[in-house]
Amino acid sequence: MPDAIDYMIARARAHPTRYGGRYLDARPATGVVIVTCMDARLDVFAIFGLHEGDAHVIRNAGGLVTEDVLRSLTVSQHALGTTEVIVVQHTGCGLLSITEEDFAEKVLATSGTRPPWPVGAFTDLDANVRDSVDAIRNNPLLTSTTAARGFVFDVDSGEVREVRASSERRLAS
């Protein structure tokens, strides 16, 4: 019986016939980057009505703005011309239901090694979105940012609600 990866590879082999050989520029058509959680319930293309080639999407556990996300945003802006950033986190996120210490202990117990990095657990979703947007707005490398806004996706209702940032840092004009 094939595993999930085999099923996905079979679908990927059929992709060229669906893709139609069309050329898509690496520069997103909208100039937007979306930073979001890896949670499979978040289909950002469906949520925002996007198509292939419309936006860069950066995903990680929690949709956190980490050093690596800032690296990717910097590449997206300086090499590929993006200017706007959307941060989307969501209700029911797994990082809301764990603590740093409990997670580290669980990993230690099952692997024999404590993780060398924080998992990024948080308790206040809106504050976490606000902090993420502030980290983008206040990063000196992201000089092309004309807009950075944060949102919460409700996994039960499908609604998207904006979270106002606490920082009004200079944004490119």
For residue 144, the enclosing domain spans: 25-163
Per-residue pLDDT reduced to its tens digit, 64-79: 999 999 999 999 999 9
Counted domains in the chain: 1
Residue 43, domain CATH: 3.40.1050.10
- 3 in a domain, yes or no? no
Predicted pLDDT of residue 11: 77
- 170 in a domain, yes or no? no
- 171 in a domain, yes or no? no
85, 33 in Cβ contact below 8 A?
Answer: yes
What gap in Å lies between CA 101 and CA 82, rounded to an integer?
37
- 20 in a domain, yes or no? no
- 19 in a domain, yes or no? no
- The CA–CA distances, whole Å, from 91 to 39, 57, 155 equal 11, 19, 6
Per-residue pLDDT reduced to its tens digit, 135-157: 999 999 999 999 999 999 999 99
Supply the pTM of this predicted model.
0.88
- 7 in a domain, yes or no? no
